Amino acid sequence: MKSSEVVDEIFRVYRKQGHRSYGENVTENQHALQSACFAVQAGESDSIVAASLLHDFGHLLHDLGEDIADQGIDARHERIGGNRLSAWFGSEVVEPVRNHAASKRYLCWLERGYFDSLSEASRKSLALQGGPMNDVEASEFEKTPQFEASVRVRRYDDEGKVPEMITPDFEDYRTLLEGLVRRAE
């Protein structure tokens, strides 16, 4: 599959499912674009920008509805998305996607006040994801590949919840994403 076809497929999924509510007064599309926009503004690498854009891709791949956390379901969207994206991207993009939920758990362990800064929707999903890490979990997480990148992507995830924010469009990220697609052409 050519890199342009990979990006076409990703954008097709966003066009089809991205209108769904994110639970934060923004849609999945708005959340993805805002997270990537904040990463760009911070001067992040292309891989961090891509991971920020794609971190919730797994939410778009299941048919469990928009309010699954309210139903007590953890779809493990970070794994679903990471697994799908691993066919196309390297670990510098995939691991922060896979680890962004674990990064929330980690930051709750690490920083006083982080939990209090989370929205109600993030707190619900945190409980389903295992709650704040304990010391052993945090120590192990710090050893994972792309640990620091994963935490940075989590920060942009936290920021990307601004109703009515103006952002670039998905097409503005096409060249960046195509440049990161693994060459299987």
Tell me whether residue 176 is in a domain.
yes
The H or E element containing residue 110 is helix 91-110
Whether the predicted pLDDT of 13 surpasses 90: yes
Domain of residue 22, residue span = 3-180
Mean per-residue pLDDT for 114-136? 89
Residue 153: exposure state from Cβ atoms within 10 A (0-12, 13-18, ≥19): buried
Q: Is residue 107 part of a domain?
A: yes
CA distance 95 to 11: 20
Q: Confidence class of residue 97 from pLDDT cuts 50, 70 and 90?
A: very high
- Establish if 97 belongs to a structural domain: yes
Task: Indicate the number of domains in the chain.
Answer: 1
Structure confidence by residue, pLDDT tens digits, 132-178:
999 999 999 999 989 999 999 999 999 999 999 999 999 999 999 99
Tell me the CATH number at 150.
Answer: 1.10.3210.10
* Per-residue exposure over 61-82, b if at least 16 CB sit within 10 Å of its own CB, e if not: eeeeeeebbeeeeebbbbebbb
Is 55 among the domain residues? yes
109 in any annotated domain: yes
Is 37 domain-assigned?
Answer: yes
Tell me how far CA of residue 157 lies from CA of 1, 6, 115, 146, in angstroms.
29, 23, 14, 16
Q: Pick from 78, 73, 71, 131: which is nearest to 106 by CA?
A: 131
Between 83 and 124, the more confident residue is 83
State the pLDDT confidence band at 73, using cuts at 50, 70 and 90.
very low
Is 80 part of a structural domain of the chain?
yes
Establish if 185 belongs to a structural domain. no
